Amino acid sequence: MTIEAENKEIEASIRDVAKKMLSEKQVDVIIGYSQGTLPLSSTPIVIRNEEQVDNLIWDNLCYINLARYLAPLMPQLCDSEGNALKIGIVSKGCVGRAVNLLAAEKQIDLDKVKMIGFNCNGNVNRSKIAMEIGEKEILDVSITGNEIIVKGKDWEQNFPYSEYINELCKVCQVKIPSATEATCLGECQQLESINDEFADIDEFEAKSTEEKWDYIKKELEVCTLCYSCRQACPACYCNLCFVDQNKPIWFNKTTEYTDIFTFHLIRSMHLAGRCVACGACSSVCPVGIDLNFITRKLEKIVKTRFNYTSGLNAKTLPPMMNFKMEDAEEFMLEED
């Protein structure tokens, strides 16, 4: 089956489940994806009735992790008497992981959330295509057969889908939300663990310390500190981010490399054991930085040390928020 045909099946299943949820009053609103106003994009949408269901779409440009809207939106979505509304959320695997993470961290009430689960077939690497297109204006993007077709005025360029999906999508093992029937309609599964080999960071890990530093510096030095990565991340839900604190001021907001590096270092440590590998941070970066080489490395460390993968269930706290007497403590011991 072609990617185009898969997308039509997924979109139809999302709309069917959404219509069922709304007609049976299982939810009051649904957060999903809708057609973007610009090529290479989609946009989030909140629908409230069955007539709006046809506005829901699925294509491989639906890169936003919709769980990002749950923590700030839930207190606002209330009826006329102030009672919290029940929310449906269109959920690929990484969105489901983010929903579970937010529930485990007590940021949302899972009794008020129901996922519309489906088997995700990946997201297009928007930055990679945009960088190759260069300054030419993109007027239309479509997927026909197994090719991404990008068109402009008097030009057209084709990209093989298998080569131009996000690197995280290529190694993803949670394409369907990990959830119970009580919290998910459509396709869902219950996972206790996954066997992630982290082969995508083998090349980075094989570098020497000096080579790693040079690689990180080269990747990050083009950062403009726009904070798009933070704004897109479902795990960045603090009301006051550390970069915006006045007392204490952790670092300056300049594009000097020390400030850029400090921001990404601290933010990545905040995500240790919490990143759900959705790739939203890289998808929205205006200068094409792939931040996953940092978060994936931390994900591997957490997996190796604690045998933990974030977002597989809504009950287990991330290791950095939890303590067990049997936790390994070799890093605290003096070397012989």
Lowest average pLDDT, out of 32-46, 75-89, 147-161, goes to 75-89
Question: What was the pLDDT predicted at 330?
Answer: 66
**pLDDT, averaged across the chain:** 90
Phi, then psi, of 112 in degrees rounded to 5? -105, 5
Token look-up 């369907």 returns 176
Is a pLDDT exceeding 90 seen at residue 326? no
Residues 6+ positions from 69 with CB-CB distance below 8 Å: 31, 44
Question: What was the pLDDT predicted at 294?
Answer: 86
Rounded average pLDDT over 62-89: 87
Question: What was the pLDDT predicted at 244?
Answer: 86
Is a pLDDT exceeding 80 seen at residue 327? no
Q: What is the pLDDT of residues 263-287, one digit of tens each?
A: 999 999 999 999 999 999 998 998 8
Q: Is 293 a domain residue?
A: yes
Rounded average pLDDT over 241-268: 87
Q: What is the pLDDT of residues 133-159, one digit of tens each?
A: 988 999 999 888 888 999 999 999 999
Question: What was the pLDDT predicted at 280?
Answer: 93
User: What is the Cβ-side half-sphere exposure of residue 331, based on CA atoms within 13 angstroms?
Assistant: 3
Q: Is 254 a domain residue?
A: yes
Banded model confidence at residue 123, pLDDT cuts 50, 70, 90: very high
Please, are residues 301 and 272 in contact by the beta-carbon 8 Å criterion? yes
Question: What was the pLDDT predicted at 94?
Answer: 96
Banded model confidence at residue 169, pLDDT cuts 50, 70, 90: very high
Q: Is 266 a domain residue?
A: yes
Question: What was the pLDDT predicted at 75?
Answer: 78
Banded model confidence at residue 253, pLDDT cuts 50, 70, 90: confident
Question: What was the pLDDT predicted at 335?
Answer: 55
Identify the three-state secondary structure at position 165: strand
Q: Is 37 a domain residue?
A: no
Banded model confidence at residue 6, pLDDT cuts 50, 70, 90: very high
Q: Is 63 a domain residue?
A: no
Question: What was the pLDDT predicted at 273?
Answer: 92
* Residue 215, domain extent: 199-332
Q: Is 32 a domain residue?
A: no
How far apart are the two ends of the chain, measured CA to CA in Å? Answer: 59
Q: Is 119 a domain residue?
A: no
Lowest average pLDDT, out of 220-224, 247-251, 253-257, 295-299, goes to 247-251
Q: Is 316 a domain residue?
A: yes
- Among 68-72, 95-99, 320-324, top mean pLDDT goes to 95-99
Rounded average pLDDT over 81-107: 93
The domain tally of the chain equals 1
Is a pLDDT exceeding 60 seen at residue 336? no
Question: What was the pLDDT predicted at 114?
Answer: 96
Is a pLDDT exceeding 80 seen at residue 331? no
> Strands (DSSP E) along 128-280, which ranges?
140-144, 147-152, 155-160, 184-186
How far is the C-alpha of 26 from the C-alpha of 251, rounded, in Å?
Answer: 47
